[in-house]
Homo-oligomer: A and B are copies of this chain.
Amino acid sequence: MPALTESFALPTQGKGTYDLTAQVARLVAKSGVRTGLATVFLAHTSASLVIYENADPTAREDLHRFFERLVPDSGNDYLHTDEGPDDTTSHLRMALTRTSEGVPVAGGRLCLGTWQGIFLFEHRSAPHRRTVWVSVVGE
């Protein structure tokens, strides 16, 4: 059975969503798995993953604004703020979205819908270098 676990680095330039679908698809191809499962995992607690609408950029703008309002960086009384006002709020936004995502593989390809992209959702204002792990198992 082929099985691959590999990571890649993704540099981020502040809050927002970053498409990593192509990098994941590349590792699925590399794995040789035809039928199975690809799992994407983000090794951080102040950024997250989300599968989101990949065509209209305003869809993701709405996502960013929604989270600024649901978990506002200012006017709160959080305790864990050593790294700034976006410290605890980054963790909370991460908890509300995803850290891992499993995507079935058929015919050697990710079974994503037409409008689905796999995005890293960066919650910190400062640039970061994020580590994304991909595991592919199957046959």
Contacts and interface: CB of A to CB of B under 8 A. Distances in A.
B100 A59 contact: no
Interface in A7-38: 7, 35-37
Interface in A34-87: 35-37, 39, 41, 43-45, 50-53, 56, 58-59, 61-63, 65-66, 70-71, 78-80, 82
Nearest to A117: B45
Contact of A39 (B45, B70, B80, B102): B102
B53 A5 contact: no
A131 B111 CA distance: 10
Given A5-B104, A50-B95, 10 more contacts: A3-B36, A5-B106, A45-B113, A53-B80, A56-B80, A59-B88, A65-B78, A96-B96, A98-B98, A106-B133
Interface of A: 1, 3-7, 35-37, 39, 41, 43-45, 50-53, 56, 58-59, 61-63, 65-66, 70-71, 78-80, 82, 88, 91-92, 95-106, 111-113, 115-116, 131, 133-135, 137-139
